[in-house]
């Protein structure tokens, strides 16, 4: 990854803000839902 990050023991990836943020920097949050939560996908999009 082009920015500093760490992976916690639970598998969560924490992305640290770079020292000098660049113009147009984008943050992304992604998660995986189980198939039984498929009907809930519309609520998860924002």
pTM beyond 0.85: the answer is no
* C-alpha–C-alpha distance, residues 13 and 36, integer Å: 24
Find where tokens 């924002």 sit. 46
* C-alpha–C-alpha distance, residues 24 and 2, integer Å: 14
What pLDDT score does 9 carry?
92
CA-atom Rg of the chain in angstroms: 14
The 10s digit of each residue's pLDDT in 5-16 is 899 999 888 888
The 10s digit of each residue's pLDDT in 22-46 is 677 677 777 666 777 777 766 766 5
For the chain, report the end-to-end CA distance as a whole number of angstroms: 25
Tokens of 33: 């839902």
What pLDDT score does 4 carry?
84
* pLDDT band per the 50, 70, 90 thresholds, residue 3: confident
């Amino acid at each position: 990854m082009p920015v500093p990050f760490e992976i916690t023991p639970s598998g969560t990836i924490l992305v640290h803000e770079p020292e000098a943020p660049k113009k147009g920097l984008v943050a992304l949050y992604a998660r995986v839902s189980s198939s039984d939560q498929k009907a809930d996908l519309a609520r998860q999009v924002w």
